[in-house]
Amino acid sequence: MKYIEKLHEIVGKNRVSTSSPELYCYSCDASQIKGMPDYVVRPDSTEQVSKIVQFANKHKIPVTSRGAGTGLAGGAVPISGGIVLDLSSMNRILDVDIENLQVAVEPGVVHAKLNEKLKYHGFFFPPDPGSSAMCTIGGLIANNGSGMRSVKYGTSSRYALDLEVVMADGTVINTGSKTLKTVAGYNLTGLMVGSEGTLGIITKAVLKVAPLPKARTVILASFENPELAGEGVVKTLSSGIVPSACEILDKTAIEALNAFDPNLNLPDVGAILMFEVDGTGGAVEEGAKLIESSCSSLATNVKSASTKQESEELWRARRLVGAAISRLDPNRTRVYVGEDVGVPIKEIPKMLKKVREISEEFNIPIMTYGHIGDGNLHTGMAIDVLDDSQWDSLNKAGDKIHRTAIELGGTVSAEHGIGGARSKYMELELGPALDVMLNIKNALDPNNILNPGKLGV
């Protein structure tokens, strides 16, 4: 409590919390990582963030930046205590500059609200996370998030032009330019994107935006098993088709969604693929036909959504799937462990088969879904959280899923971040590159105050 007066001086008394109930609210996210802060501070300007970080660095107080707390890997959890910087008050859209194809925002802007604003101008910010209605732009950039349309549009790193960042000593820098491309010096913007607040704190972002497509349609392909669906993805993408999205729902996911909302009436099959094609009307029709042709020899059925409403219903179902697994057994709760692996495209069928084997080995239902078009699979597991033996099985299953992904040339996290949940796999996945990361961390944050204990650094 000895630092409370200085924090009050910087942001005001009503923007600092030390009460146990409020601190507890900042001690977790959706992962199993926990850590209690000593202070929660809610700055509303870059100047305040800079002063807080400068003060924290002087006294070696850990600082963990946080947006909406929707993370799944403990990235915003203060495992070393100290200060949580709640940036949700910095939620202004500063400039919509359509003539330059960009927008400037503060980190606390909610993703969906940004796209609501851009829609008026006929544009959008393409990364499309499932948590769009809640997650903030700062968190999305800090984790290099993406989502369902990453096959065509890529991750957040493709759209970050310039970031205003508070460094560990309180210095404020700009990492890029308002131009659509620049090669002036090291790619500091790329370094900050995905760094999970371990190298600096993002207080402003200039982002490239894209025109909204004139038309979209969804193609639904049914398969006897997930492995055949995986082969369908490989065949479709290798034929040169680039859908805007390509998602998988396995049998368990389909059953969970139909239990959640019987009106969805998804087909009772081993797996389905949801392709989305966007662009002009003619291009969309041609793309849909090419996807149908690519999948026809492997699928039991392929059809396009007949109306815009049907397409929207299918996407609504996909967004619900993460929580729907609990509908299959009320005694089981979804636990976010081993749920964000990525593998090379041609290894997708092998990874899907391995997940099924792991599910049988540990007797845990695993619902496989996700952005299969870029090799990103979410493996949703549910257990009786009061049964210690099921926790043991779940952790062993998650470990095996992670190690399998690495063995196949993949990654333990394709979009949700490393945080504290997957730090132990960084050396296995990165090898000597982890030493380079450590050198960068030590150079930019010698006192290790910025989100310590995350990303394996």
Average pLDDT in the 122-140 region? 95
Compute CA distances 119 → 98, 116, 128, 184, 278, whole Å: 11, 5, 14, 32, 16
Considering the domain architecture, whether residues 156 and 183 belong to the same structural domain is answered as yes
Considering the domain architecture, whether residues 177 and 123 belong to the same structural domain is answered as yes
Last residue of a domain, one of 23, 55, 88: 88
The pLDDT value given to residue 320: 78
The answer to which of 88-92, 262-266, 361-365, 443-447 has the lowest mean pLDDT is 262-266
Average pLDDT in the 19-28 region? 97
Give strand pairing partners of 369: 249, 378
DSSP 156: G
Last residue of a domain, one of 193, 211, 229: 211
| 323, pLDDT greater than 80 | no
Model confidence at 31, pLDDT cuts 50, 70, 90, reads very high
| 204, pLDDT greater than 70 | yes
| 107, pLDDT greater than 70 | yes
Chain segment 237-261, per-residue pLDDT in tens:
999 999 999 999 999 999 988 888 8
The pLDDT value given to residue 261: 83
DSSP 332: -
Chain segment 263-284, per-residue pLDDT in tens:
888 999 999 999 999 998 888 9
The per-residue pLDDT of the chain, averaged, comes to 95
Contact call for residues 104 and 206 (beta carbons, < 8 A): yes
Query: How many CB atoms are located within 10 Å of the residue 210 CB?
Result: 14
| 152, pLDDT greater than 80 | yes
Considering the domain architecture, whether residues 83 and 96 belong to the same structural domain is answered as no
Model confidence at 13, pLDDT cuts 50, 70, 90, reads very high
Give strand pairing partners of 275: 219, 246
The pLDDT value given to residue 327: 79
| 388, pLDDT greater than 70 | yes
How many residues does the structure list for the chain? 457
Contact call for residues 74 and 419 (beta carbons, < 8 A): yes
The answer to which of 213-217, 271-275, 304-308, 401-405 has the lowest mean pLDDT is 304-308
CATH number of 312's domain: 3.30.70.2190
Is residue 140, in this structure, part of any structural domain at all?
Answer: yes
For residue 453, which phi and psi values (nearest 5 degrees)? 90, 5
| 325, pLDDT greater than 90 | no
Q: In percent, how much of the chain has pLDDT > 70?
A: 100
| 108, pLDDT greater than 80 | yes
Structure tokens at 273: 């693929």
* Total structural domains within the chain: 4
Measured on CA atoms in the order 93, 94, 96, 102, is the torsion positive or negative?
negative
Model confidence at 425, pLDDT cuts 50, 70, 90, reads very high
Considering the domain architecture, whether residues 288 and 229 belong to the same structural domain is answered as yes
Last residue of a domain, one of 280, 298, 324: 324
| 1, pLDDT greater than 70 | no
CATH number of 138's domain: 3.30.465.10
Domain limits at 49? 3-88
